[in-house]
Chain A
Amino acid sequence: MVGAILAAVIVLGACGGGSDEQAASEPAEPATTSTAATSATTSATTATTAVSGTTVAEDPPAATTTTAAPEEPAEAPATTTVVETTAVPETTQATQPVAVPEGPPIPALTLELDDGTTFVTTEATRPVLYLFWAEW
């Protein structure tokens, strides 16, 4: 009877040692699984971030394009206005030289008049009548 008990204890002892080794290796499996799950979660988060980043990245260019579009039309009307303004004076100036009279140039003289003033023949701003006469 005692021998049977001892034999049973020995057998149980042998089984208990094996379960210790298994117990040591068992926690490793859940840990690995947990790590994999974490990695999967991290990858999913990264993927989500990447998608979000793409979405965010696409929006700003659209906004930039929208902002750039109004600038180009704004410059075009300004250029058109300048051309129209410049064209009018050029046409007017082209017709002015036609009025230049023909004839021999007046001698360049500085005349000291009796009233104390000076008259420069080449600086006259309006028509001039030179009247040559004598007191006798």
Chain B
Amino acid sequence: MPVVDYVAGEYAGQVDVIAVAWASTHEKTASAARGFLTSGATRWLLDEDNSIFAAFEVTYQPVGVFAVNGVEVNRWFGSIPEQELRQAFMDATA
């Protein structure tokens, strides 16, 4: 999460980053977001009933989904190296 948020800060204004948190209490999720999401470029929400996870067919985390023009163009599961993450940002904004 910290690396994703760091790269998201570099692409602020070019890419919207939405962090969808698995069901939990709002207090615990907000506390974790304050620790991980420090760039200000990543916005987040709590998926209280996991309906957003289900709509994207995500059954576990972390998972990243890149969308361009309303179409999913890239998806990865688990943690990925920073270089691959940067490549995903570059491909999405090319």
What residues of chain A have their CB less than 8 Å away from a CB belonging to chain B? 100-107, 109, 111-115, 117, 119, 121-122, 124, 126-136
Contacts and interface: CB of A to CB of B under 8 A. Distances in A.
Contacts of A135: 21-22, 24, 28-29, 31-33
Contacts of A124: 16, 67, 70
| Contact residues on B (Cβ < 8 Å of other chain), bracket | 35 or more
Contacts of B65: 106, 129-132
A96 to B, nearest CB: 12
B54 to A, nearest CB: 9
Given A131-B19, A133-B19, A109 B43 contact: no
B1 A105 contact: no
Given A128-B16, A135-B29, 15 more contacts: A101-B69, A102-B71, A102-B73, A109-B52, A114-B44, A122-B70, A128-B15, A129-B64, A129-B67, A131-B42, A132-B63, A134-B21, A135-B24, A135-B31, A135-B33
Q: Is chain A's binding surface mostly helix, strand, loop or mixed?
A: loop
B15 A109 contact: no
Given A113-B45, A114-B43, A135-B32, A128 B56 contact: no
B22 A133 contact: yes
Contacts of B58: 132
Contact of B67 (A102, A117, A130, A133): A130
Contacts of B17: 128-129, 131
Contacts of B73: 101-103
B59 to A, nearest CB: 10
A112 to B, nearest CB: 6
A39 B14 CA distance: 101
Nearest to A100: B69
